[in-house]
Amino acid sequence: MRLDLSGRTALVTGSTQGIGTAIAAGLASAGARVAINGRSAPGVRAAIDGLEGDGFVAAPGDVSTDEGARQVLAAVPDVDILVNNLGIFGAQQPLEITDDEWRRYFEVNVLAAVRLTRAYLPGMMTRGWGRIQYIASDSAIVTPAEMIHYGVSKTALLGVSRGFAKSAAGSGVTVNSVIAGPTHTGGVEDFVYQLVDKSLPWDEAQREFMRLHRPQSLLQRLIEPAEIANMVVYLSSPLASATTGGAVRVDGGYVDAILP
């Protein structure tokens, strides 16, 4: 298959590290011009310097705020591909999650994506082509006891994705969510060590985490960011023109269900 995104402009939120960086690299390798987003200009510049190729532009701004979103829109007024990757997570006892923390998770994980979709979708529909994706999580379906607020925010993204797909019906714009399973990133390494013995070497810690906290994974290892990026690049391509309104799983078989 030829995944050709030449002439397309993409924005990947939260793309200075982890899954976001892998997605940005994958889109660029398919020919897209990719806007790298993070809260600070120096952080965005450092991320671009670490990527191969010259098809990247800087779009700094905290998109969980109105002002930050305006900064990003000024840097990239129109995009063909929007990947709402920005997200926060962390372990916390359910009864200790405050109202302010619940609000913070929804501002970052849900409303930031809604805000940018509202800004970019009309232009895509006018041009008759576009791709919007939301990076969700297995936690959207299998709510983890140690981070209910995170899981519920990702569940909300599935509804956001399906709803906006309906609003874009017949326009040539596809809207999907990607259900990412437990993925190996720096942030996840920190999270793993919150739950297992900190003295364990990483390979042992990872196996212990999967055994104790994610035993239903059929992959039986953490997913690499590039494996998530591969699905995002495909869904961003013309080859995925008939896939919309979906929740596509890249979860290593973690979710014990036939659908979605």
**150 catalytic, yes or no?**
yes
Catalytic residue among 105, 120, 134, 150: 150
- Answer left, alpha or beta for residue 91, where phi above 0 means left and psi between -120 and 50 means alpha: beta
Asked whether 138 and 255 are in contact (CB, 8 A), the reply is yes
The neighbour count for residue 54, using CB atoms within 10 Å, is 9
Bridge pairing between strands 247-250 and 173-180? parallel
Asked whether 196 and 209 are in contact (CB, 8 A), the reply is yes
Bridge pairing between strands 173-180 and 33-36? unpaired
Rounded to whole angstroms, what are the CA distances from 208 to 50, 105, 126, 144, 197?
32, 27, 50, 17, 9
DSSP character at residue 108? I
Residues classed as catalytic: 150
